[in-house]
Amino acid sequence: MAQELTTQELEQKLKNGETINLIDVREVDEWEAGHIKEARNIPLSEIVQRVDEFPQEEMEIVIICRSGGRSGKACDYLGALGHTVINVSGGMLAWNGEVVTGE
């Protein structure tokens, strides 16, 4: 089971200037409608094909989606491969911080 982080905890870490490997696993249209500036978009539907973008030596991976379901699946998959993963509980529905739109 992956560790969890609330959206408030994530926002505080970002405000403190912490470097976070934040991955948004929503589909591209959801991403373009609004996402966290520091996030990278790797849709859940592409994780298996893009697994090489998650090097083992990389820091922990923080994963967010719309509500926490898809990010939980991504955490399960990447965790089984040996990555340290953290699921953002509540996802973007619970995010009250700044969002950017477009690519």
Alpha carbons 76 and 95: distance in angstroms, whole number: 22
One of 65, 85, 88, 92 is an active-site residue; which one?
Answer: 65
Report helix, strand or coil for 74: helix
> CB of 71 within 8 A of CB of 64?
yes
Is 75 in the active site?
no
Task: Dig out the tokens for 69 from the structure.
Answer: 């379901």
Q: What residue type is 92 in one-letter code?
A: M
Catalytic positions are 65
